[in-house]
Structure 1
């Protein structure tokens, strides 16, 4: 009986077309973890402040990565920004990580975080600063060394690694200060917390409930500092893939809430988190029931399933690509986004995953790209790939529409819109047909909206903010 859920899901997905959209979402998260520790995703070459050529090579390496991610419609990059008590930007709190220059504590001669932000925004992609929270790296590494000099009492040594003690209130201050610094100084779209939990080998000396309160205290402090500066910033984390034991499916002793005191679903429900990226690095009964659990409890925010693309590599797990395809389709049916661990395994096209995503991601009518009025980007129309050609936008009986609703008369090329509300944080206009399907996402320029790419038909225009919330603006009839 325990295999019923999986068998039903597999039955539904085997033989189904690629363009599964059981739920229409205004914005599907299509994300990737871009790892900088050891340069395993980026950078593969070091930069030297005294060598402009080396800096340019490192920059070009990133732009190539982003170009390829954009080509498969990735819309969110989680860039590892704080590694292990060390960072990839000039910080007043922590030293440079060695991944950029090859020498811990030494600047690469430019600001990699600022460069990455600019390049992501040029491509209409969100970028979230991925902050590793509790682990501080090797005991004799630069992160631990500096913390031992500043406040050794906050560290606990386990093996040859150092960890911040989540039971001490000062730990929340340290991590929140880093997140505040990034939010103040950089135009990131989100702060993404990793390892916001007790280490698995930590001997807990308090109750599980107290442990959860200790971790939540850190989250609350970060939330308070970040949102006070930029309320629109998306705060997220990557919890363990299994939140807790389910009624019929045990977590086998490895779950977020009980094992490591990570109460992620509560954080989302109460607004402490805007997004969750659960690391569902499993398959079969260890994946599908838990994916359903995340979907059922995601009403208060967005959830993107962290998928183990690395397991397609024969050296890692040698999964068949059919397993990942099933997971992708089921997640889309459930209304979950997707996040791939990690960038290199996607770009290396293991078992054709890159080629598959190129088609799969353009089949979803999710929102594609943001307009950043305060950033230096190309103000071009963003649309949802070939989605327009997949949807019948014609309405057979126009009389079905209430005649007292506001109409915008159009010449088929552009329309004039009402003044933009000061509360809006993007210039995006979501276009839906009368069936409620997303057709395209366009960018307004002042009060003007270029609609020449839309087919003839009747549409509803919505404003759209960075959280994916919509507000109906008007109806449009294009003739």
Structure 2
């Protein structure tokens, strides 16, 4: 302090300047060398592996060395913007120390933070927060995560394989039917479908505020069930039922389909070169009357009743034909009019069954004639075939495959100069039949759909990595990719009869594969093995089918699927641990409202005439009645109706054959105040909307 000893005038000023210099130096030393974590910022918080570490530093710091539990792993500096990413090999708790160094490498200061390294984290909503029903869910994930699947409790409600501009997986799930407290579960998978991480948060689901003056677009989804008649799988339940009992079962099945908000039935009308309807071409089916060729008594037309009753309920009826099977296992005696007797040269025995040879012209012509007959006489909405082409192979006692006995047709082909291999020749026979079927539908009923439900795995040369299993291309000579690529169908329902995470046959990977083969933009509506829900200890849980349905809804505006088979729904089946059956769960969580079938624009895209509508109020009955009239011109099949109760829009479908809708007042919201209505044609084309105010 000798410099502050007074010696002359002005000494006090010099001392003051010196003290100020010391003070500034001391203050500067306090402010210098600061380093603060920007991300991660919460001590003892979760950190998503691979997200950038960022720090804020004072100007005298040249670089920051980051250490994890004492081991250096990352250097931050001005060149990298004081932030850089790092992916830890192991997850879990880490103590991260940031050491601030000057240009000479001297440590000036340090700070630390403890983090829990995870593979994914809910970005929004946060745990314990409110979630607005139908809003976006965002999930941060490490680079190892290639796909995120989102669940509400046990039901999958969305998935994503694409990151947004902020490097987050963004999923907008459908409206949840149940509000209140729900568990949101995010499951992260690597590129091979392996589950890497699961995160769970609890949210309170709340309704969104109603700000829209018009309702959303009508929901669309093909919700179908196969009704198998062969071996009495679905209907009739027994071949010895009376006509009255068969009719009662038919009505009950359709009522249950309607109650579950389904909209299509695929009915097997030709199980094995026979018919469940009166035909001059083929005999009555034994599955209907107990003996092939014997007509029902009293006389009735089952197919016509199925069509009439389905249409009354707003349900499409697709006629399902087996093109080649002539007799199933366990079947009884054949009728004298069966093709086995009229054309024995084209019917072959294989694996305890009879099959029409696909390469025989007589057999092919018979199938086309049968389909043409039904298209001409019945108001069906579609023609459908499944996966039976050449029979599935069997093997002898030595493990050798037993070849299908088609030598007569094959030898004629060679004699005529044919040059294809036998496998290609067989595939050509099936391809020709599929092409003829498609054109036959277009010829006789241009607005009917043609659907094919092949085996669910594609040809070996095109399969995604990791997919293994039976080759329909090589074994039953079904070139399903060709039919889909060329658009020789209107909807395609590959039988994806495996669990979502079944190794080698993952449901979503297979569905994505077939969508990739859809070059003509037809409808892809996968088949699901619903009857694996069977009440036994090996039963699939109801949630498996619900989650598969939700997967079919991802990435498409023309969703749909088919249940095999009907009894899984009509019997309301469940697994022992399930609290409610499949039909109940569908109505409660998945088919919460009716849906239109997606529009097949390639069949008809011409305008549908606008409807005329009026509404009336009956205050004493506490009801509102909407009266609908189709516009002039192209026929209207249905009306899509949105009704406004309070601030809530509710959707329903009204049949043009019964164009009146009466709605009771809501106990809380009161009477419907207005409607929006469109007319819908046979292939799903909607008219312009009209608005109706209730007086």
Q: TM-score, normalised by structure 1?
A: 0.76
1:310 to 525, 531, 534: 531
Aligned equivalent of 2:566: 343
Distance 2:328 2:613 in 1: 65
Aligned equivalent of 2:512: 292
| Cα shift readout 1:13-35 (whole Å, capped 9, x = no counterpart) | 36487774499775311111112
Aligned equivalent of 1:394: none
Contact 1:305-1:338 within 8 A present in 2 as well:
yes
| Cα shift readout 1:276-318 (whole Å, capped 9, x = no counterpart) | 2211101224122001223344462222211111212255952
- 1:273: how far off? 1.0
- 1:153: how far off? 2.0
Matches within 5 A, 1:464-479: 464-470=680-686, 472-474=687-689, 476=691, 478=693
Aligned equivalent of 1:280: 496
Contact 2:525-2:562 within 8 A present in 1 as well:
yes
Q: Over the residues paired in the alignment, what is the CA RMSD in angstroms?
A: 3.9
Greater CA drift, 271-280 or 289-298 = 289-298
Distance 2:289 2:487 in 1: 38
1:78 to 253, 257, 266: 266
Distance 1:409 1:148 in 2: 56
| Cα shift readout 1:74-108 (whole Å, capped 9, x = no counterpart) | 21111111011111111111111111111221111
Matches within 5 A, 1:215-254: 215-245=430-460, 246=462, 248-254=464-470
Aligned equivalent of 2:606: none
1:426 to 628, 634, 637: 637
In structure 2, the gaps of 5 or more residues are 1-141, 158-172, 176-215, 394-401, 405-409, 411-420, 576-580, 600-609, 617-624, 665-670
Aligned equivalent of 1:263: 479
Contact 1:196-1:262 within 8 A present in 2 as well:
no
Distance 2:465 2:325 in 1: 30
State the SS of the aligned residue for 1:77: strand
Matches within 5 A, 1:319-468: 319-335=540-556, 336-348=559-571, 349-351=573-575, 352-363=581-592, 366-367=595-596, 419-422=631-634, 424=635, 426-429=637-640, 439-443=651-655, 462-468=678-684
Aligned equivalent of 1:41: 234
State the SS of the aligned residue for 1:127: strand
Distance 1:8 1:408, change over 3 A: farther
2:150 to 12, 37, 43: 12
Distance 1:467 1:440 in 2: 18
Distance 1:146 1:41, change over 3 A: same
1:203 to 400, 403, 406: 403
- 1:410: how far off? 7.8
Distance 1:407 1:116 in 2: 28
- 1:43: how far off? 1.5
Distance 2:442 2:560 in 1: 24
Would you say 1:106 and 2:294 are equivalent positions? yes
Matches within 5 A, 1:81-92: 81-92=269-280
State the SS of the aligned residue for 2:250: helix
Greater CA drift, 361-370 or 145-154 = 361-370
Distance 1:102 1:426, change over 3 A: same
Aligned equivalent of 1:393: none
- 1:162: how far off? 1.4
Distance 1:105 1:135 in 2: 17
Contact 2:289-2:296 within 8 A present in 1 as well:
yes
Higher relative contact order (CA 8 A, sep 6+): 1
Aligned equivalent of 1:121: 311
Distance 1:418 1:56 in 2: 36
Greater CA drift, 142-151 or 408-417 = 408-417
1:137 to 324, 327, 332: 327
Distance 1:428 1:216 in 2: 38
Distance 1:365 1:112 in 2: 26
State the SS of the aligned residue for 2:275: coil
Distance 1:164 1:185 in 2: 25
Distance 1:141 1:47, change over 3 A: closer
Distance 1:157 1:45 in 2: 26
Distance 1:113 1:443, change over 3 A: closer
Q: TM-score, normalised by structure 2?
A: 0.54
Q: Based on CA coordinates, which of the two structures has the bigger radius of gyration?
A: 2
State the SS of the aligned residue for 2:149: helix
Distance 1:458 1:115 in 2: 33
Distance 1:60 1:198 in 2: 36
Distance 1:130 1:418, change over 3 A: closer
Contact 2:227-2:234 within 8 A present in 1 as well:
yes
Distance 1:425 1:407 in 2: 9
Contact 2:447-2:683 within 8 A present in 1 as well:
yes
Distance 1:12 1:184, change over 3 A: same
Contact 2:427-2:479 within 8 A present in 1 as well:
yes
Distance 2:363 2:568 in 1: 34
Aligned equivalent of 2:255: 67
Distance 1:301 1:438 in 2: 29
- 1:248: how far off? 3.5
Distance 1:418 1:153, change over 3 A: closer
- 1:322: how far off? 2.9
